[in-house]
Amino acid sequence: MDNDSPAPKSLLEAVPNFSEGRSRPTLGLLAEAAGRPLLDAHADPSHHRSVLTLAGSAAQLRSSGLSLLETAIRCIDLRRHRGEHPRIGALDVLPIVPLGETTMERAVRLAISLAEEIGVRHSIPVFLYGEADARRRTLPQIRQGGLPGLAGRLTRGEIRPDYGPGALHPSAGGIAVGARQPLIAFNVNLDTSRVGIARAIAGRMRTSGGGLPALRAIGVRQDDPAGRRVHAQVSMNLLDWRRTSLADAFRRVLVEAGAAGTGVVHSEIVGLVPRAATWPGMEMEIALREPARTIEGVYQSVVKPA
């Protein structure tokens, strides 16, 4: 585990998700566009998705966010995109997260400012969600039915963007911009290729299905990077690790997998985790494929004062 110190009082985090997880040139351009605030980059070819973690001041994240969007528009075409993860845009979602003693109000101000500028500068509909949205709209509500579903709802007037045009960009789709507390993206690979089992487990585990609190989950196909076999994967978002910890989620998958006649191969954390969500021996307890890294630790080691 990282030997880290608390985050600076003014620190904000951005966790942009892109509909690209296979093209190394494009991933390289996105990392370049992120610039100085980039702490971590995670790409998944099966999900055909990448997640960047950035941290810095509001001005730094604003500049990086706009640069990343411009790169995504230039390099990612959703008309040719096929992947396991649901999405509505090339830069699919851009959450702003307060860290340390930073207030949620500051994260909300930055999210709304970015959303407004994106809507003005680019022909992309922008949908606010989470704390940045007065209605507290959620990502699943915006992404219902995926890209075709969103296009249809826009046409029928069932949903309207908060900024930008009333129709999707032909190649870049739309974008959800929001503010939220830190969450943990956590995937568990099962010892089976039967995706139906993962989907059934996810359905019983997620909060909306009567499962664990503050948990979203889906079941997807996960190809082995070495091409040896296919795993069914339970892909989760822990919205509040204080209510459902990594250990809680992992143990529940173990129980559900056992009841379905299978087991767990390993797990992975996508991106970085808050230090407060970790504990000694975590890697072994939840069968992590790679050691976990904390936001605070990576920030202290990577980001140097200007």
Query: What is the distance of C-alpha 35 from the center of its chain?
Result: 19
Show which residues are catalytic. 85
- Our measurement of the distance from residue 56's CA atom to the centroid of its chain's CA atoms, rounded to an integer in Å, reads 18
Q: Rounded CA gap, 28 and 25, in Å? A: 5
Does residue 55 contact residue 296 with C-beta atoms inside 8 Å? no
**Whole-angstrom distance, CA of residue 179 vs CA of residue 56:** 15
Instruction: Indicate the DSSP class of residue 304.
Output: -
Tokens 């143990």 belong to 251
Q: For the chain, first and last CA: distance in Å?
A: 27
Q: Which two tokens stand for residue 298?
A: 């990576």
- Among all chains, which residue has been given the structure tokens 């936001």? 295
- And the tokens for 218? 């889906």
- Environment class of residue 47 by beta-carbon count within 10 Å: exposed (0-12), middle (13-18) or buried (19+)? buried
CB atoms within 10 A of CB 120: 10
The token pair at 91 is: 């830069």
140-158 in b/e form (b: 16+ CB < 10 A) is eebbeeebebbbeebeeee
C-alpha–C-alpha distance, residues 294 and 297, integer Å: 5
**CA–CA separation, 19 and 104 (whole Å):** 27
